[in-house]
Amino acid sequence: MRWRDWRARRRGGATRLTVGQWGGLAVFALLAVLVAVGVGPPRGDGPRVPVARVSQASTVFAALTVVPARPPHDSAYDRGAFGTAWTDASAAPGAGNGCDTRNDILARDLAVSGRVSIDSCPRAVSSGVLTSPYTGRSVVFERGRSSAAVQIDHVVPLAYAWDMGAKDWPRERRTAFANDPANLVAVDGGSNQAKSDAEPAVWMPPLDGFRCQYAVQFVTVLGEYGLPVDEPSRTVLGAAFELC
C-alpha cells in the first residue's frame, strides 16, 4: 500500500482513521507479534536425521520395555527431586564447565548475537534468534523480561520419567538426567507450555518434519537411562520413525 493512498479524516483537529486503515494497522501489529514470539502455524521441514542414528535408535526402540499405559501421575512428584534447576554441578555430559545448563543449551541451539557475564555463566547468551524445532518459526531472544519467549524443553519430561521409574533412582542420577544435553532442546515458549509433561501419545511436535528427530531423541534417552515406554506412546513413536 502506498503512503499517498492513506487518507485521514479530521474532525475538530483530530485525525480519524478509516476502517480500512484500522484494519491494516491491526494486521501489521499481529504480524509483529507473531514474529516476536514465534507463534503461528508450523512451517518448513525438520532436520534430516543421519541414517546411522536412525538405525541405532530403531535398535534401541525395539529393545525398550513396554508397559500398557503411563501410571497415574504420582502426586509426590517434585521438580526439586531432580536437583537444582539447570545446575552446572552434575554428572551430565558437559557439566562443570562454569556455565549453567540453560545457557549451555541456548548457546548450542541459538544463532547467538550477544553475550553477557552473569553469576551462573561468564559468557551467557544475551541475544540471538532461535528457529524453534517444534514449529519451524523464528523466535527472537533477548535476555530480560521477554526471555521466556525461548524455553528449554526436556524431550522426555521429568514428570514422565518420574512416573516411569525415576522416582526410584538416586538423586544424583535424576540430577544428571535433568541436565543431560541429549534430553534438552531450546524451543518456543508456547510449544513448551502446550507440551507440559505429556508423553508422545498425548503430544508430538506440531511440525511434522521434526517428529523423526523427536522420536529418535526420546527413544535414545529412554534407552540410555533404562526407562520403559507406555504402549500408546510406542505406537506414536513408531509412526514417527516411519517419517525418517
pTM for the whole structure: 0.82
Closest CA to 133 of 188, 51, 194: 188
CA distance 72 to 140: 37
pLDDT digits (tens, 9 = 90+) for 171-211: 999 999 999 999 999 999 999 999 999 999 999 999 999 99
> What are the extents of the domains in the chain?
20-241
Output the average pLDDT for the chain.
87
| Bridge partners (DSSP) listed for residue 229 | 66
Q: Calculate the CA dihedral of residues 236, 157, 33, 127 and round it to 10 degrees.
A: -130
The DSSP symbol for 244 reads -
Mean pLDDT of 206-226: 98
Overall average pLDDT of the 134-154 stretch = 96
Residue from 207, 161, 209 nearest 188 by CA = 207
Between residues 9 and 90, the one the model is more confident about: 90
**Confidence class for position 151, pLDDT limits 50, 70, 90:** very high
Cα–Cα distance between 133 and 77 in angstroms, integer?
28
Position of cell 505429556? 198
| Distance from C-alpha of 92 to C-alpha of 62, rounded to nearest angstrom | 26
pLDDT number for residue 18: 45
- Dihedral, CA atoms, 218, 73, 192, 30, nearest 10 degrees? 140
Helix (H, G, I), strand (E, B) or coil at 36: helix
Comparing CA positions, the residue from 136, 160, 149 lying closest to residue 218 is 160
